[in-house]
Amino acid sequence: MLSIVLPAYNEAENIQPVYRDITESLTGHAGDREIIFVDDGSVDGTFSEVEKLSRQDPRVRGIRLSRNFGHQAALYAGLNEARGDQVIIMDADGQHPASMIPALLNKLSEGYDIVNTTRVETEGSGAVKKTSSRWFYRLFNALSDVKIEPSSADFRIMNRKALSAFLSIEEQDRFTRGIISWMGFRQAILEYRAPRRISGTSKYSFRKMRLFALDGITSFSSKPLRISAIIGIIVLVSGLLYMIYAVTMFFLGRTNPGWTSLLVTILILGGVQLLILGIIGEYLARIFHETKRRPHYFIQQRTGD
Ligand code: UDP
Ligand code: MG
Protein backbone atom coordinates (compact mmCIF):
# COMPACT_ATOMS: atom_id res chain seq x y z
CA MET A 1 0.00 0.00 0.00
CA LEU A 2 1.02 3.60 -0.70
CA SER A 3 0.33 6.32 1.89
CA ILE A 4 0.36 10.01 0.99
CA VAL A 5 0.63 12.42 3.90
CA LEU A 6 -0.25 16.11 3.51
CA PRO A 7 0.02 18.61 6.37
CA ALA A 8 -2.45 21.44 5.87
CA TYR A 9 -2.77 24.69 7.77
CA ASN A 10 -5.62 26.88 6.51
CA GLU A 11 -5.69 25.26 3.08
CA ALA A 12 -9.49 24.82 2.72
CA GLU A 13 -9.52 25.90 -0.96
CA ASN A 14 -6.59 23.66 -1.83
CA ILE A 15 -7.74 20.32 -0.40
CA GLN A 16 -10.07 19.38 -3.29
CA PRO A 17 -7.73 20.40 -6.17
CA VAL A 18 -4.74 18.69 -4.55
CA TYR A 19 -6.81 15.54 -4.00
CA ARG A 20 -7.87 15.60 -7.66
CA ASP A 21 -4.25 16.01 -8.82
CA ILE A 22 -3.14 13.07 -6.70
CA THR A 23 -5.97 10.84 -7.91
CA GLU A 24 -5.22 11.77 -11.50
CA SER A 25 -1.52 11.04 -11.20
CA LEU A 26 -2.28 7.64 -9.69
CA THR A 27 -4.77 6.42 -12.30
CA GLY A 28 -2.31 3.84 -13.60
CA HIS A 29 -1.14 2.78 -10.16
CA ALA A 30 -2.24 -0.74 -9.33
CA GLY A 31 -1.69 -0.94 -5.56
CA ASP A 32 -3.90 0.17 -2.73
CA ARG A 33 -3.50 3.67 -1.33
CA GLU A 34 -4.52 6.04 1.44
CA ILE A 35 -4.40 9.82 1.47
CA ILE A 36 -3.95 11.31 4.93
CA PHE A 37 -4.59 15.00 5.50
CA VAL A 38 -3.26 16.42 8.74
CA ASP A 39 -5.16 19.54 9.70
CA ASP A 40 -2.62 21.46 11.74
CA GLY A 41 -5.11 23.49 13.80
CA SER A 42 -6.68 25.36 10.87
CA VAL A 43 -9.37 27.97 11.48
CA ASP A 44 -10.78 28.10 7.94
CA GLY A 45 -12.78 24.91 7.38
CA THR A 46 -9.89 22.80 6.13
CA PHE A 47 -11.11 19.88 8.21
CA SER A 48 -14.67 19.97 6.88
CA GLU A 49 -13.22 19.80 3.35
CA VAL A 50 -11.30 16.70 4.40
CA GLU A 51 -14.44 15.23 5.98
CA LYS A 52 -16.35 15.83 2.76
CA LEU A 53 -13.68 14.02 0.75
CA SER A 54 -13.48 11.12 3.16
CA ARG A 55 -17.21 10.55 2.78
CA GLN A 56 -16.81 10.38 -1.01
CA ASP A 57 -13.63 8.33 -1.04
CA PRO A 58 -12.89 5.77 1.69
CA ARG A 59 -9.19 6.00 0.88
CA VAL A 60 -9.08 9.53 2.30
CA ARG A 61 -8.45 9.93 6.00
CA GLY A 62 -7.98 13.01 8.12
CA ILE A 63 -6.68 13.91 11.53
CA ARG A 64 -7.14 17.26 13.15
CA LEU A 65 -4.50 18.37 15.64
CA SER A 66 -5.65 20.10 18.81
CA ARG A 67 -3.90 23.34 17.80
CA ASN A 68 -1.32 24.64 15.33
CA PHE A 69 1.80 22.60 16.12
CA GLY A 70 3.70 23.60 12.99
CA HIS A 71 4.54 21.96 9.70
CA GLN A 72 7.26 19.66 11.05
CA ALA A 73 5.14 18.31 13.91
CA ALA A 74 2.20 17.85 11.52
CA LEU A 75 4.43 15.80 9.24
CA TYR A 76 5.43 13.61 12.16
CA ALA A 77 1.77 13.17 13.13
CA GLY A 78 0.82 12.14 9.59
CA LEU A 79 3.72 9.73 9.26
CA ASN A 80 2.73 8.12 12.56
CA GLU A 81 -0.71 7.46 11.07
CA ALA A 82 0.53 6.04 7.77
CA ARG A 83 0.08 2.31 7.23
CA GLY A 84 1.63 2.01 3.79
CA ASP A 85 4.74 0.15 2.75
CA GLN A 86 5.70 3.32 0.89
CA VAL A 87 4.95 6.78 2.18
CA ILE A 88 4.98 10.10 0.35
CA ILE A 89 4.97 13.45 2.12
CA MET A 90 3.96 16.55 0.22
CA ASP A 91 2.47 20.02 0.76
CA ALA A 92 -1.27 20.56 0.57
CA ASP A 93 -1.03 23.78 -1.45
CA GLY A 94 -0.19 22.33 -4.87
CA GLN A 95 3.44 23.46 -4.79
CA HIS A 96 4.62 19.87 -4.75
CA PRO A 97 3.34 18.63 -8.12
CA ALA A 98 1.40 15.37 -7.82
CA SER A 99 2.55 14.60 -11.36
CA MET A 100 5.94 13.73 -9.79
CA ILE A 101 4.45 10.82 -7.84
CA PRO A 102 4.98 8.16 -10.56
CA ALA A 103 8.60 9.30 -10.90
CA LEU A 104 9.09 9.04 -7.12
CA LEU A 105 7.61 5.53 -7.10
CA ASN A 106 9.81 4.49 -10.03
CA LYS A 107 12.97 5.79 -8.44
CA LEU A 108 12.15 4.05 -5.16
CA SER A 109 11.64 0.78 -6.99
CA GLU A 110 15.20 1.06 -8.34
CA GLY A 111 16.29 0.00 -4.88
CA TYR A 112 16.39 3.23 -2.89
CA ASP A 113 14.98 3.61 0.63
CA ILE A 114 14.34 7.35 0.38
CA VAL A 115 13.87 9.55 -2.66
CA ASN A 116 14.20 13.28 -1.88
CA THR A 117 13.41 16.21 -4.11
CA THR A 118 14.90 19.63 -4.77
CA ARG A 119 13.22 22.60 -6.41
CA VAL A 120 14.90 23.85 -9.54
CA GLU A 121 12.56 26.80 -9.59
CA THR A 122 9.70 28.24 -7.62
CA GLU A 123 7.20 30.28 -9.56
CA GLY A 124 6.14 33.45 -7.83
CA SER A 125 8.62 33.11 -4.98
CA GLY A 126 9.98 36.44 -3.75
CA ALA A 127 13.64 37.43 -3.85
CA VAL A 128 13.78 37.70 -0.06
CA LYS A 129 12.61 34.12 0.41
CA LYS A 130 14.99 32.77 -2.23
CA THR A 131 18.00 34.63 -0.87
CA SER A 132 17.31 33.83 2.78
CA SER A 133 16.81 30.17 1.89
CA ARG A 134 20.09 30.05 -0.04
CA TRP A 135 22.01 31.65 2.83
CA PHE A 136 20.38 29.40 5.38
CA TYR A 137 21.55 26.24 3.57
CA ARG A 138 25.04 27.69 3.16
CA LEU A 139 25.20 28.43 6.88
CA PHE A 140 23.67 25.08 7.79
CA ASN A 141 26.10 23.09 5.66
CA ALA A 142 29.05 25.11 6.97
CA LEU A 143 28.09 24.48 10.59
CA SER A 144 26.67 20.98 10.54
CA ASP A 145 28.20 17.58 9.90
CA VAL A 146 25.01 16.59 8.13
CA LYS A 147 24.70 17.99 4.61
CA ILE A 148 21.46 19.13 3.00
CA GLU A 149 20.94 19.86 -0.66
CA PRO A 150 20.03 23.55 -1.11
CA SER A 151 16.37 24.07 -2.13
CA SER A 152 15.43 20.71 -0.70
CA ALA A 153 11.77 20.26 0.13
CA ASP A 154 9.67 18.14 2.44
CA PHE A 155 8.46 16.29 -0.64
CA ARG A 156 9.79 12.76 -0.66
CA ILE A 157 8.99 9.08 -0.66
CA MET A 158 10.28 6.53 1.87
CA ASN A 159 9.86 2.83 2.26
CA ARG A 160 8.75 1.23 5.53
CA LYS A 161 12.32 0.56 6.65
CA ALA A 162 13.28 4.24 6.39
CA LEU A 163 9.95 5.35 7.87
CA SER A 164 10.39 3.15 10.95
CA ALA A 165 13.85 4.60 11.45
CA PHE A 166 12.47 8.11 11.07
CA LEU A 167 9.66 7.52 13.57
CA SER A 168 12.06 6.03 16.12
CA ILE A 169 13.83 9.40 16.34
CA GLU A 170 11.82 11.17 18.98
CA GLU A 171 13.44 14.57 19.27
CA GLN A 172 11.07 17.46 19.91
CA ASP A 173 12.25 20.22 17.60
CA ARG A 174 12.02 18.18 14.46
CA PHE A 175 13.99 19.36 11.45
CA THR A 176 12.81 16.67 9.06
CA ARG A 177 15.25 17.21 6.20
CA GLY A 178 18.20 17.19 8.60
CA ILE A 179 16.98 14.00 10.31
CA ILE A 180 16.54 12.31 6.91
CA SER A 181 20.04 13.26 5.84
CA TRP A 182 21.45 12.10 9.19
CA MET A 183 19.68 8.72 8.92
CA GLY A 184 21.62 7.46 5.94
CA PHE A 185 20.16 4.49 3.98
CA ARG A 186 20.15 4.53 0.18
CA GLN A 187 18.92 7.96 -0.89
CA ALA A 188 18.31 9.55 -4.26
CA ILE A 189 17.28 13.04 -5.35
CA LEU A 190 14.85 14.11 -8.07
CA GLU A 191 14.33 17.65 -9.29
CA TYR A 192 11.01 19.39 -9.74
CA ARG A 193 9.65 22.77 -10.68
CA ALA A 194 7.39 24.26 -8.00
CA PRO A 195 4.33 26.07 -9.33
CA ARG A 196 2.57 28.85 -7.45
CA ARG A 197 0.37 27.72 -4.59
CA ILE A 198 -3.17 27.05 -5.82
CA SER A 199 -4.78 29.47 -3.40
CA GLY A 200 -3.90 31.57 -0.37
CA THR A 201 -0.51 32.74 0.84
CA SER A 202 2.47 31.03 2.45
CA LYS A 203 1.78 29.68 5.92
CA TYR A 204 5.43 30.05 6.85
CA SER A 205 5.42 33.41 8.59
CA PHE A 206 8.71 35.16 9.27
CA ARG A 207 8.53 33.89 12.84
CA LYS A 208 8.03 30.29 11.68
CA MET A 209 10.93 30.53 9.23
CA ARG A 210 13.19 31.88 11.96
CA LEU A 211 12.22 29.05 14.33
CA PHE A 212 12.71 26.53 11.53
CA ALA A 213 16.22 27.85 10.87
CA LEU A 214 17.11 27.89 14.58
CA ASP A 215 15.77 24.35 15.06
CA GLY A 216 17.79 23.20 12.09
CA ILE A 217 21.06 24.67 13.23
CA THR A 218 20.82 23.93 16.95
CA SER A 219 19.65 20.33 16.36
CA PHE A 220 22.47 19.49 13.99
CA SER A 221 25.43 21.55 15.10
CA SER A 222 27.16 22.52 18.30
CA LYS A 223 29.68 24.62 16.40
CA PRO A 224 28.12 27.95 17.47
CA LEU A 225 29.09 27.01 21.04
CA ARG A 226 32.66 26.25 20.00
CA ILE A 227 32.84 29.41 17.92
CA SER A 228 31.73 31.29 21.06
CA ALA A 229 34.68 29.85 22.94
CA ILE A 230 37.05 30.85 20.15
CA ILE A 231 35.68 34.40 20.12
CA GLY A 232 36.18 34.41 23.90
CA ILE A 233 39.82 33.41 23.53
CA ILE A 234 40.48 36.01 20.83
CA VAL A 235 38.93 38.73 22.98
CA LEU A 236 40.88 37.56 26.04
CA VAL A 237 44.24 37.57 24.20
CA SER A 238 43.55 41.02 22.76
CA GLY A 239 42.63 42.19 26.25
CA LEU A 240 45.90 40.85 27.69
CA LEU A 241 47.95 42.56 24.99
CA TYR A 242 46.13 45.79 25.65
CA MET A 243 46.76 45.36 29.37
CA ILE A 244 50.53 45.06 28.79
CA TYR A 245 50.40 48.24 26.76
CA ALA A 246 48.35 50.05 29.39
CA VAL A 247 50.60 48.99 32.32
CA THR A 248 53.75 49.97 30.40
CA MET A 249 52.29 53.38 29.69
CA PHE A 250 51.41 53.72 33.37
CA PHE A 251 55.01 53.08 34.50
CA LEU A 252 56.35 55.41 31.84
CA GLY A 253 54.11 58.03 33.37
CA ARG A 254 52.39 58.64 30.08
CA THR A 255 48.84 57.86 31.10
CA ASN A 256 46.19 60.09 29.62
CA PRO A 257 42.48 60.41 30.42
CA GLY A 258 41.73 57.38 28.17
CA TRP A 259 38.01 57.94 27.91
CA THR A 260 37.66 56.66 24.33
CA SER A 261 39.64 53.44 24.75
CA LEU A 262 37.77 52.64 27.96
CA LEU A 263 34.39 53.19 26.36
CA VAL A 264 35.20 51.15 23.25
CA THR A 265 36.55 48.27 25.33
CA ILE A 266 33.49 48.16 27.57
CA LEU A 267 31.09 48.31 24.63
CA ILE A 268 32.82 45.56 22.67
CA LEU A 269 33.27 43.29 25.67
CA GLY A 270 29.66 43.80 26.71
CA GLY A 271 28.44 43.01 23.19
CA VAL A 272 30.53 39.88 22.83
CA GLN A 273 29.45 38.61 26.25
CA LEU A 274 25.78 39.12 25.53
CA LEU A 275 26.07 37.45 22.14
CA ILE A 276 27.75 34.40 23.61
CA LEU A 277 25.26 34.24 26.47
CA GLY A 278 22.50 34.38 23.91
CA ILE A 279 23.97 31.44 21.98
CA ILE A 280 24.33 29.42 25.18
CA GLY A 281 20.79 30.39 26.13
CA GLU A 282 19.47 29.12 22.81
CA TYR A 283 20.98 25.68 23.39
CA LEU A 284 19.85 25.67 27.02
CA ALA A 285 16.30 26.38 25.87
CA ARG A 286 16.49 23.40 23.49
CA ILE A 287 17.68 21.14 26.31
CA PHE A 288 14.89 22.43 28.56
CA HIS A 289 12.32 21.81 25.83
CA GLU A 290 13.70 18.34 25.12
CA THR A 291 13.81 17.19 28.75
CA LYS A 292 10.11 17.87 29.29
CA ARG A 293 9.38 15.03 26.88
CA ARG A 294 5.94 16.29 26.04
CA PRO A 295 4.03 14.56 23.24
CA HIS A 296 4.75 16.10 19.85
CA TYR A 297 1.05 16.79 19.18
CA PHE A 298 -2.47 15.87 20.24
CA ILE A 299 -5.20 14.60 17.94
CA GLN A 300 -8.54 16.29 18.44
CA GLN A 301 -10.60 14.55 15.79
CA ARG A 302 -10.40 11.91 13.09
CA THR A 303 -12.34 11.30 9.95
CA GLY A 304 -12.67 8.48 7.45
CA ASP A 305 -11.54 5.60 9.57
N1 UDP B 1 1.86 24.02 7.21
C2 UDP B 1 1.41 23.39 8.37
N3 UDP B 1 1.53 24.04 9.56
C4 UDP B 1 2.08 25.28 9.66
C5 UDP B 1 2.56 25.91 8.49
C6 UDP B 1 2.43 25.25 7.28
O7 UDP B 1 0.92 22.26 8.32
O8 UDP B 1 2.15 25.81 10.78
C9 UDP B 1 1.72 23.32 5.91
C10 UDP B 1 1.03 24.14 4.83
O11 UDP B 1 -0.38 23.99 4.91
C12 UDP B 1 1.59 23.53 3.57
C13 UDP B 1 3.01 23.14 3.98
O14 UDP B 1 3.00 23.08 5.41
O15 UDP B 1 0.90 22.35 3.17
C16 UDP B 1 4.05 24.13 3.52
O17 UDP B 1 3.69 25.43 3.93
P18 UDP B 1 3.69 26.68 2.94
O19 UDP B 1 3.18 26.27 1.62
O20 UDP B 1 2.94 27.79 3.60
O21 UDP B 1 5.22 27.04 2.87
P22 UDP B 1 6.04 27.59 1.61
O23 UDP B 1 5.67 26.71 0.45
O24 UDP B 1 5.60 28.98 1.42
O25 UDP B 1 7.46 27.46 2.01
MG1 MG C 1 3.84 26.20 -0.25
Q: Comparing C-alpha atoms, which of 65, 89, 88, 62 is closest to residue 75?
A: 89
Contact 117, 189 (CB under 8 A): yes
Centre of ligand 1 from the C-alpha of residue 226, in Å: 33
Q: What share of the chain is helix, strand, coil (3-state, %, to 5)?
A: 50, 15, 30
- Closest-lying ligand 1 atom to the alpha carbon of residue 201: 20
Q: Within a 10 A sphere around the Cβ of 158, how many other Cβ atoms? A: 29
Q: Comparing C-alpha atoms, which of 230, 219, 190 is closest to residue 283?
A: 219
Question: In this structure, which ligand is nearest to the CA of 204?
Answer: 1
Centre of ligand 1 from the C-alpha of residue 183, in Å: 24
Contact 112, 187 (CB under 8 A): yes
Beta strands in the chain (DSSP E): 2-8, 33-39, 60-65, 86-89, 114-122, 156-159, 187-194, 299-303
Q: Which amino acid residue places its CA nearest to atom 23 of ligand 1? A: 202
Residue 290 pairs in a beta bridge with none
Nearest-angstrom CA–CA distance, 288 and 167: 22
CATH architecture of 2-221+294-302: Alpha-Beta Complex (3.90)
Nearest-angstrom CA–CA distance, 255 and 92: 70
**Amino acid making up residue 62:** G
DSSP per position, 148-208: --TTB-S-EEEEHHHHHHHHH---SS--HHHHHHHH-SSEEEEEEEE---SSS--S--HHH
Instruction: Spell out which residues have Cβ within 5 A of ligand 2, the ion.
Output: 91, 93, 95, 197
- Condensed to tens digits (0 to 9), the pLDDT of residues 117-174 reads 999 887 777 888 888 888 999 999 999 989 998 888 999 999 999 999 999 999 998 9
Confidence (pLDDT) at 108: 96
Confidence (pLDDT) at 130: 83
Confidence (pLDDT) at 46: 95
Nearest-angstrom CA–CA distance, 22 and 97: 9
Q: At what angle do helices 127-143 and 206-220 cross, to 10 degrees?
A: 10
Nearest-angstrom CA–CA distance, 88 and 115: 9
Confidence (pLDDT) at 29: 83
Confidence (pLDDT) at 47: 96
Q: Can you list the residues of the chain whose pLDDT is less than 70?
A: none
Ligand 1 proximal residues by C-beta, below 6 Å: 7-9, 11, 40, 68, 70-71, 74, 91-93, 95, 197, 202-204
Nearest-angstrom CA–CA distance, 294 and 131: 35
Pocket test for ligand 1, best of 71, 76, 202, 208 (most atoms within 8 A of CB): 71
Confidence (pLDDT) at 132: 87
- Closest-lying ligand 1 atom to the alpha carbon of residue 10: 11
Contact 155, 192 (CB under 8 A): yes
